[in-house]
Structure 1
Amino acid sequence: MSRLKIKKNDTVRVIAGKDKGREGKVVAINRKTKRIIVEGVNMIKKHEKPSMTNPNGGIVEKEAPIDISNVMYLHKGKPTRIGFKFDGDKKVRYAKSTGEVID
């Protein structure tokens, strides 16, 4: 399994698809299918039955997963690729455009 370069709570910009150019925070990641859910991006309408959490049921708008290859990490407001390097004995992510360590 390859290492994913985008993590939960990262800010990303969509670079392909119907929401191209939109930005948001990563809410969830599915490592197996390499799909992520971005806040406010790729909204769908889902018909839900009445339940304990939603007693009336009805049409609910929610985010759908988007492929991880269709987003880019935002570093200081600009999209950049991410790489890995060793900082001492610790492996860290860094922005390839500036060379700065992200975390």
Structure 2
Amino acid sequence: MAAAKIKKGDQVIVLSGKDKGKTGTVTAAMPKDGKVVVAGVNVATRHTKPSQMNPQGGLNRFEAPLHISKVAHVTADGKPTRVRFETQDGKKVRVAVKTGEKIDG
């Protein structure tokens, strides 16, 4: 399995779908499923009946996962960029293709 190019804590922009153009931080990454959860993006609503655990019931809003191909890493100027891997000082680091800046510390 290839290493994940987008990780938890990354700033990303949505490339397609109803939330196209929105930016947010990755709150969860699921590399085996090829999905990410982005804060404030792809918010879904689930109607829940009252139960003993939730006696009020009502609407439950949550951020649904997006496919990783629908998001791209954001550069410092707010534009999307692809990510590539390079070896620097014997370590594998992520690098923004557009600007060449290092993403990992």
Residue identity over aligned pairs, in percent, reads 49
The answer for the alignment partner of 1:91 in structure 2 is 92
How is 1:44-63 mapped onto 2 (pairs within 5 angstroms)? 44-49=44-49, 50=51, 52=53, 54-63=54-63
Matched, 1:80 2:81: yes
Secondary structure of the residue aligned to 2:102 is coil
Gaps of 5+ in 1: none
The answer for the alignment partner of 2:42 in structure 1 is 42
Name the CA distance, whole Å, in 2 between partners of 1:67 and 1:26: 12
| Aligned-residue RMSD, C-alpha | 1.3
How is 1:4-43 mapped onto 2 (pairs within 5 angstroms)? 4-43=4-43
Following TM superposition, by how much is the alpha carbon of 1:19 offset from its aligned partner in structure 2, in angstroms? 0.6
Q: What TM-score do the two structures reach when normalised by structure 2?
A: 0.89
Name the CA distance, whole Å, in 2 between partners of 1:12 and 1:93: 14
| Number of aligned positions between the proteins | 102
Letter in 1 for 2:84: G
Name the CA distance, whole Å, in 2 between partners of 1:20 and 1:26: 16
Name the CA distance, whole Å, in 1 between partners of 2:59 and 2:52: 13
Further displaced range: 19-28 or 41-50: 41-50
Name the CA distance, whole Å, in 2 between partners of 1:60 and 1:51: 16
Following TM superposition, by how much is the alpha carbon of 1:86 offset from its aligned partner in structure 2, in angstroms? 0.6
Gaps of 5+ in 2: none
Secondary structure of the residue aligned to 1:25 is strand
Secondary structure of the residue aligned to 1:73 is strand
8 Å Cα contact 1:51/1:57 also seen in 2: no
Name the CA distance, whole Å, in 1 between partners of 2:89 and 2:3: 20
